[in-house]
Chains A and B, each alone.
Chain A
Amino acid sequence: MRIVLWVSALLAAAPLGAQDVAVVLPPGIAWSTNYDDPPIGSPEAIRGGTFNDWIGAYPLTFRLVGPNSNDGFAGWNRLFTMAFSLVKRHPVTDNYIPWMATAWSVQDDQRTVYVRLDPDARWSDGEPITADDWVFTYEMFQSPHIVDPFYAILAQETWESIDKIDDYTLRIVGKDPSWRPLWDFLGIWPTPSHVVTLDSTWVERTNNEPQVAPGPYIVTGRERGESVTFSRVDGWWGEGKHYFRGLYNPDTIQLRIVPEERSLDYLRLGQIDVLQENTARTWNEDYTFEAVRNGWIKRARVFVDFPQGVYGLAMNLEAPIFQDKDFRKAIQYLFNFERLNRNLMFDEYLRISSFFEGTEYANPDIEPYSFDPQRAREHLARAGYRRPSENRSRGLLASAGRMLNGLITTRAADDDILVNERGEKASFSIVYGSKGLERHLTVMQQDYRRAGVEVRLRLLEPGAAFERGLERKYEMHLMGRGTSFFPDPRQYLHTEFRDTTNNNNVWGFGTPQVDSLIEVFEDDLDLEDRQAAMWRIDEIVHDEAFHIPFWGAPFVRLAYWDYIGWPDNWLPKRVLAYNDWPVFWIDPDRKAALEEAMRTGTPLPVDQEIDKDPYDLVDDRQ
């Protein structure tokens, strides 16, 4: 399937070169831009210094496209050197802001966008960045020489054409009209057409070759298996521009190759400056060493707001047991998130309540089903499930026989599982593809069992588990799907996907009402109408109770040496990681003070309040 698509993308790409009609700017075009939002970085940021961080493995390539170009290093590469798109979404205000463009003009067809480029923009080798470089990226995406089906498909599905009007003006035409053309069509970045020659050896030739870049840094040092170093480009063109202020502060960035489980040791040794901690247990138990006690290493848990995606336990509406809404609600009421959070997760996480959590389309009035066994039992009774009382009052001999029967394998004690009139047990299986959450599932299993519902766990090989979900061959399925800032309800909830399988509608859900609401969301250009439609969908999803939402980590946990400076608002609001936007800096005065303190062994003030909530998010959620 994927290969077929790729080939057809190549075929479609073929006639592009043969375009000879010159593209011109339509008369009377209205340009818009936005220089009114605050810069993303802090005005207090200090330039200079060397910042030390880590990556898990030495990069397999320095390219941004082609094989192996999506590893842990790619994020840094995109951020600092390569992927400078035309516009970005401001991570605090959510408005579009010019990045490499200076202005844009969206036409009424909602798919044609004219873009003015920044004439100051220069490549790291000093050459100007012109419209040709943008057109070249589009051609490159479609080239068979990059051996990258992902970009071939992306190019085919996103754009109809990208044309040069003059050196600093582009016309970008999307495949289909969109109500968010800037987001959909302007995420492309430039490629230095004056140095890149695409041919069949390009992939191999450029594997290990630092690229000419539009960004403030280029790769200057590489030691295979040891480290990668970025250094600032002399006289970078973006210096002092409004939205670049306060970003990209260190002069040098050194990435050490560190195995993830040893990253904390490297922080302790001062070999890395900042560590984002993703494990609740480590965060709560392992930061007790001297440097933390003495306030040399500081900690902060910064609450941010990021789309959480669809994450939780899906019930298959095609499975006989989940066709009863009362039974589904009972299962919702028996999910004891608090117990899991308290006893397995250090009370660190917050329950996801909405299907569109972390976006403006999440209905704020929706409360997740809380643990309530009594209501669960009422719903179970309504669904016709009762304790099999006749089984229980059996003789000693029969019980002994049953026990012996199950003696070797497990305890034969299924005598307390509820049954319905047809004699079917209240029993279902959960399919999951990784051991990561197995302990949560087994604890959850106990709560269900106490209420008389048997949960069987089926660990499958990850690929097989994923496929079971897509093919709807399961009863309950542990699923996680990422999302972008704009939710896409169609692929999850539309009847179009209910009637087929192999799609993201893993539940097999769909009603005409939700279909029409999805159409409102997709076609209506008025934000409030779209929002109202999505809130209604959220309500319906909640009431149909086919999805048990899990929990999210709407925060970034940071441990950093005291000389790292942060803006007053710590991090932008829409981030998953602290290095999504490089707002941090190195404070030389505090560095000297810290060195002095460490030399004499004097403690620095310790901030007892680790939780930082610059956007007042926590109260909203609870």
Chain B
Amino acid sequence: MAWIRLDPITRRRLERFRSIKRGWYSLVVLGAAMVLSVFASFLAESRALVVWYGGRVYFPTFTYYEAGRFGQEPPPGWGTGDLEADYLRLQREWDLERVLYERERTAIVGDDRVALAALEEKYANRQNRVFMPPIPWDPYRSDFWYNEILRDVQAELDRDANLRAELLARRDGLDELADAIASGDIETMLADPERSLTGDLLGLARSGAMPSLAGLGALPPTAPDLRRHHYLGTDSQGRDVASRLLYGFRISIFFSLFLVLVSQVVGTAVGSLQGYIGGRFDLLSQRLIEVLLSIPFLYVVIIMGALFAPTFWLLLAIMAAFQWITITFYMRTEMYREKTREYCLAARSYGASHARVVFRHLLPNSLTPLVTFTPFAVVAAIFTLTALDYLGYGLPAPTPSWGEMLDQALLAENRDRLWLTLAPFGALTFTLVLVVFIGESVREAFDPKRYSRYE
């Protein structure tokens, strides 16, 4: 870090920043969230972290494995295909084998080796393991389980395949239903119009006669529910809200950091040049900036979006083309002011080059606006991206984005689905509050009234 020489003032500023607890903790929390979000593929992903199968270890996060590799059957209609394994289902299937194995082993009397061997053969998968990420959903995958599971079980019942129906229910944790099917009670339950008005499982779920079926038969968006690990519910396409929130955070925060980095560097350079050189250059470039400023930003985004498919980098470029302007004004005035001060003239008279004067003397004294504005620029950038996505001119669907989540939440049909509203609003508010706290503390730490640097 030779290029940053921490002079005593800077050090004191940093210490002061650290001593403002609110800002410091905000920085820690936000920083941790950012680092975590880089590893989102290990936190929220429908591919397993680790699969232990037949004595070998697999890492599906990195590699595509066909379902057949783990002996998994493809979904109905897809044939023997080479589809990727469905790891969440795999986990449930193997867990089920473990449960059935345990249950049937207790039924074996004594030390019947033949029966035991047959049982072990039958449930060979019980020794395999799938380790899923904490949120076992990627931000793209629709989960229609709530709507479809009862239909699937019902279809098996209708075919008189009661055993399959029972296993299906048990695999997905509907033990009460599975027990009722196993004992045959289900027939009487469905025949009773008090318990099932329509005579099927859906009616049973609706009437509330079997409480563990509550919430089944529902179309997305579905409320937060632990059975399927949807900690914040699902959105109107059945995608996991928590997962989309996390990936949306990753996109917003990195987008805004890149944007702020580019625009502040460019803006500072241009503004400083304007202020330091002054004269005709300043006059001309200021007019150019005014021209640029009069271009309506939103239209440019819409037009560019119609010409090219909007991508992360394209949006970044378009926004950076406009965002650098604001800071030029402040840097320009700072430079104008500072260059007339005695210390600058002294440096010049000692024969310091222009570059040395700008970088060693003027810039360090002009940093206050840059430092003060940057956190708010981050806030503005997050907001702009969210607004663009909300309007539909941001990153294309199905990219996880807070703006798109807000858009769903504010639809009239979703107005009573609080989880859709609270998740993106909460996340947005929380992030922006953290950034604002950091910004405030930085501003306080850099307050020139406390430490001036006139030399």
- B63 contacts the other chain (Cβ, under 8 Å)? yes
Contact B78 A446 (CB under 8 A): no
Which A residues are CB-close (under 8 A) to B412?
261
The A contact surface, by secondary structure, is helix
For residue A344, CB closer than 8 A to chain B, the reply is: yes
* 0/1 interface trace, chain A 413-449, chain B, CB 8 Å (1 if under): 1011000000000000100000100110111011000
Q: Mark B75-99, 1 if CB is under 8 A from A, else 0.
A: 0011101111000000000000000
Q: Distance (Å) between the CB of B252 and the closest chain A CB? A: 11
Q: Is the CB of A456 within 8 A of B254?
A: no
- Chain A residues within 8 Å of B63, by CB: 392, 394, 396, 399
Contact between chains at A343 and B147 (CB < 8 Å): yes
Q: A373–B81 contact, CB under 8 A?
A: yes
The reply to whether the CB of B365 lies closer than 8 angstroms to some CB of chain A is: no
Report if B451 contacts A (CB, 8 A).
Answer: no
A387 within 8 A of B: yes
Does residue A408 face the partner (Cβ distance < 8 Å to B)? yes
Pick the residue among B64, B140, B151, B398 that contacts A415 (CB under 8 A). B64
Residues of A within 8 A of B84 (CB): 416, 450
Question: What's the least CB distance linking B6 to chain A, in Å?
Answer: 30
Indicate whether A400 reaches chain B with its CB closer than 8 angstroms.
yes
Tell me the bound Cα distance from A339 to B220 in angstroms.
Answer: 13
Q: B62 and A458: CB pair below 8 A?
A: no
Q: Are A342 and B148 in contact (CB under 8 A)?
A: yes
Assess whether B430 is interfacial by the CB under 8 Å rule: no
Residues of B within 8 A of A415 (CB): 64
* Interface status of B341 (Cβ within 8 A of chain A): no
Answer whether A387 and B41 are a contact pair too, CB < 8 Å, given A343-B148, A409-B312, A416-B64: no
From B141, B237, B306, B396, give the contact of A456 (CB < 8 A): B396
CB nearest neighbor in A for B74? A373
Specify the chain B residue showing the minimal Cβ separation from A259.
Answer: B412
Cα–Cα, bound, A223→B348 (Å): 78
A396 to B148, CA, bound (A): 37
B82, A441: Cβ atoms under 8 Å?
A: no
A442-B398, A443-B142 known; A371-B77 Cβ under 8 A: yes
B59 lies within 8 A of chain A by Cβ: yes
Chain B interface category by residue count: 35 or more
Number of A-B residue pairs with CB-CB distance less than 8 Å in the complex they form:
103
Cβ of B199 to closest chain A Cβ, rounded Å = 13
A239 contacts partner chain B, Cβ-Cβ < 8 Å: no
Q: Is the CB of B251 within 8 A of A408?
A: yes
Bound complex: CA A374 to CA B312 (Å): 35
Given A377-B79, A443-B237, CB of A411 within 8 Å of CB of B148: no
Q: Counting CB contacts under 8 A, is A201 at the interface?
A: no
Contact yes or no, B238 A403, CB < 8 A? no
Bound together, the chains give a CA A407 to CA B36 distance in angstroms of 12
Indicate with 1 or 0, residue by residue over A279-317, a CB within 8 angstroms of chain B CB atoms: 101100000000000000000000000000000000000
| B311 at the binding interface (Cβ < 8 Å) | yes
Q: Which residues of B contact A408 (CB under 8 A)?
A: 38, 250-251, 254, 312
- Counting CB contacts under 8 A, is B440 at the interface? no
Q: A282-B413, A373-B77 are in contact. Are A441 and B397 (CB under 8 A)?
A: yes
Please report the C-alpha to C-alpha distance between residue A415 and residue B65 in the assembled complex, in whole angstroms.
11
Please encode chain A, from 113 to 139, with 1 for each CB lying within 8 Å of some chain B CB and 0 for all others. Answer: 000000000000000000000000000
- Say yes or no: A459-B392 contact (C-beta < 8 A), given A281-B413, A339-B144: yes
Q: Roughly how many angstroms separate A150 CA and B302 CA in the complex, as a whole number? A: 30
A410 at the interface (CB under 8 A from B): yes
Taking a contact as CB atoms under 8 Å apart, the answer to whether B392 and A373 are in contact is: no
Interface centre among B78, B219, B238, B250, by most chain A C-beta atoms within 10 angstroms, is B219
| Known contacts A415-B64, A443-B142: A464-B306 contact under CB 8 Å | yes
Q: B41: which of A261, A339, A411, A460 is its contact (CB, 8 Å)?
A: A411
Rounded to whole Å, the gap between the CB of B316 and the closest CB of chain A is: 10
Docked complex Cα distance between A158 and B18 (Å): 80
Q: From residue 456 to 495 of chain A, which have CB atoms closer than 8 A to chain B? A: 456-461, 464
> Which residue of chain B has the shortest Cβ distance to A465 in the bound complex?
B306
The distance in angstroms between the C-alpha atoms of A198 and B38, with both chains bound, is 71
Residue among A343, A413, A442, A450 making CB contact with B397, cutoff 8 Å:
A442
Could you tell me the distance between the alpha carbons of A80 and B314 in the complex, rounded to whole angstroms?
A: 54
Shortest C-beta distance, B161 to chain A (Å), equals 21
Partner of B219, one of A344, A373, A456: A344
Give the CA-CA distance A455 to B360 in the complex, in Å: 53
Q: CB of B172 within 8 A of chain A?
A: no
Q: How far is the CB of A90 from chain B (nearest CB, A)?
A: 38
On whether the beta carbons of B398 and A461 are closer than 8 Å, the reply is no
- Flag if A446 contacts B41 (CB, 8 Å): no
Residues 228-261 of B, flagged 1 when their CB comes within 8 A of A and 0 if not, give 0000000011100000000100110010000000
A193 nearest CB across to chain B (Å): 46
State which of B62, B236, B237 has its C-beta within 8 Å of the C-beta of A400: B62
Give chain A residues whose Cβ lies under 8 Å from the Cβ of B237. Answer: 344, 439, 442-443
The answer to whether A346 has its CB under 8 Å from any CB of chain B is yes
Q: Decide yes or no whether A372 CB sits under 8 A from chain B.
A: yes
A459 contacts B396, C-beta separation under 8 Å: yes
Contact between A343 and B79, CB atoms less than 8 A apart: no
CB distance from A409 to the nearest CB of B (A): 4
B309 at the interface (CB under 8 A from A): yes
* One of B62, B81, B311 near A409 (C-beta < 8 A): B311
- Within 8 Å CB of B81, what residues of A? 373-374, 377
Given contacts A343-B220, A408-B254, 16 further A-B contacts (CB under 8 A): A281-B219, A339-B144, A344-B236, A373-B77, A392-B63, A399-B63, A403-B41, A411-B41, A413-B64, A429-B309, A435-B392, A439-B237, A443-B238, A450-B78, A458-B309, A459-B392
Q: Which residues of A contact B (CB under 8 A)?
A: 261, 279, 281-282, 339, 342-344, 346, 371-374, 377, 387, 392, 394, 396, 399-400, 403, 407-411, 413, 415-416, 429, 435, 438-439, 441-443, 445-446, 450, 456-461, 464
Could you list which residues of chain B lie within 8 angstroms of chain A, going by C-beta atoms?
38, 41, 59, 61-64, 77-79, 81-84, 138, 140-142, 144, 147-148, 151, 219-220, 236-238, 247, 250-251, 254, 302, 305-306, 309, 311-312, 392-393, 396-399, 407, 412-413
Return 12 A-B CB contacts under 8 Å, by A number. Answer: A261-B412, A282-B413, A342-B151, A344-B236, A392-B63, A403-B61, A407-B41, A408-B312, A416-B64, A435-B392, A456-B396, A459-B393
4 pairs of A and B residues whose beta carbons are closest in the complex:
A399-B62, A374-B79, A343-B144, A409-B312
